[in-house]
Amino acid sequence: MHHKRPIGWHNQHFIRLTAEITDYAEAGAKILIENGWMEQPPLASDRDKLTQH
């Protein structure tokens, strides 16, 4: 038997799930930063310095 759900049911659950995932990711990032485990992303090379001989 197919049960009908109210309009917007999926949208409400998606919004709640997205908020929970965001909170989880933020907590994980804070742990990484507090322990010095987060790596610095690669930086662009200093082109002026590279061209000097």
pLDDT digits (tens, 9 = 90+) for 2-35: 667 666 768 888 999 999 999 999 999 999 989 9
The count of structural domains within the chain is 1
In a domain, 21, yes or no: yes
Residue 5 within a domain: no
Residue 6 resides in a domain: no
d(CA 28, CA 36): 12
Query: Is the residue at 3 inside a domain?
Result: no
- The pLDDT value recorded for residue 26 is 95
**Helix (H/G/I), strand (E/B), else coil: 41:** coil
Expressed as residue numbers, the domain containing 20 is 12-49
Identify whether 42 is part of a domain.
yes
The CA-to-CA distance between both ends of the chain, in Å, stands at 77
Report residue 26 as tokens: 């933020």
Q: Is position 1 within any domain? A: no
